[in-house]
A and B are shown apart, each in its own frame.
Chain A
Amino acid sequence: DAGVIQSPRHEVTEMGQEVTLRCKPISGHNSLFWYRQTMMRGLELLIYFNNNVPIDDSGMPEDRFSAKMPNASFSTLKIQPSEPRDSAVYFCASKFGHQNTEAFFGQGTRLTVV
């Protein structure tokens, strides 16, 4: 398996534009997580899905952020409209089962909003 695949690796966009980050989890994994990493706040959980259903989105900073998981092999994180303070590295991670098994991370998307 190729691991968790995120695209794009890097994204530069202008303030006010819509940004969509994409994630393909490892086949067979049924939990998916979106994290945001910044120098100031470290790694923050934004939202996680279990069997394609959002379980906890309390970490989503504001209504400008939305996430979907239309099927077991694809998820998106959308920011509309984007702001400079959204600049960060966004990670997607997936894992299998309800046990505390290892979460596998993608390589992240570095988002810069200018």
Chain B
Amino acid sequence: AQTVTQSQPEMSVQEAETVTLSCTYDTSESNYYLFWYKQPPSRQMILVIRQEAYKQQNATENRFSVNFQKAAKSFSLKISDSQLGDTAMYFCAFSVNNAGNMLTFGGGTRLMVKP
């Protein structure tokens, strides 16, 4: 079974600064995908960034980037130049490349961006 752990229930950051959210996972699979989803107060789940396990290069999407350490089974999210609109719950998720590809989520980190 796959598990995803987010050890930081809550974090805060000043606007324009950088923050890193942690995520670790456990699996015996070698081929899998990792995701970060954002859930703002509107409740909508929004994909922020994804990483294929077979790729060594860390994924980047504008102000969002990941630090993927496969051996350590770690997948952290870095948000640069934090904006007030980044205030949300952030969920790390894991998916194995099999039929169905279900997503297993971590417990989430609540991020507050302060003005």
Encoded as 1 (CB less than 8 Å from any B CB) or 0, chain A from 33 to 62 comes to 101000000110100101000011000000
Give the bracket for the number of chain A residues in contact with chain B.
Answer: 20 to 34
Q: In chain B, what residue has the closest Cβ to A95?
A: B101
Of A33, A50, A56, A108, which is within 8 A of B43 by CB?
A108
Min CB distance, A98 to chain B, in Å?
6
Q: In chain A, what residue has the closest Cβ to B47?
A: A102
Q: Which residues of B contact A103 (CB under 8 A)?
A: 47, 103
Of B50, B95, B100, which is within 8 A of A56 by CB?
B100
CB within 8 Å of B: which of A89-114?
89, 91, 93, 95, 98-103, 105, 107-108, 110
Q: How far is the CA of A31 from the CA of B42 in the complex (A)?
A: 24
Q: How far is the CA of A73 from the CA of B47 in the complex (A)?
A: 22
Residue from A43, A48, A55, A98 with most neighbouring chain B CB atoms (10 Å): A43
Min CB distance, B112 to chain A, in Å?
17
Contact B44 A56 (CB under 8 A): no
Q: How far is the CA of A9 from the CA of B14 in the complex (A)?
A: 33
Of B43, B50, B91, B102, which is within 8 A of A102 by CB?
B50
CB within 8 Å of A: which of B34-53?
35, 42-45, 47, 50, 52
Min CB distance, A89 to chain B, in Å?
7
Contact A93 B47 (CB under 8 A): no
Q: Which residues of B contact A108 (CB under 8 A)?
A: 43
Q: How far is the CA of A43 from the CA of B39 in the complex (A)?
A: 12
Q: Which residues of B contact A50 (CB under 8 A)?
A: 99-100
Q: In chain A, what residue has the closest Cβ to B91?
A: A43
Contact B101 A31 (CB under 8 A): yes
User: Given contacts A42-B108, A100-B52, are A48 and B47 in contact (CB under 8 A)?
Assistant: no
Closest 9 pairs between A and B when the two form their complex, measured CB to CB:
A100-B33, A105-B45, A43-B105, A42-B107, A55-B100, A50-B100, A102-B47, A100-B95, A108-B43
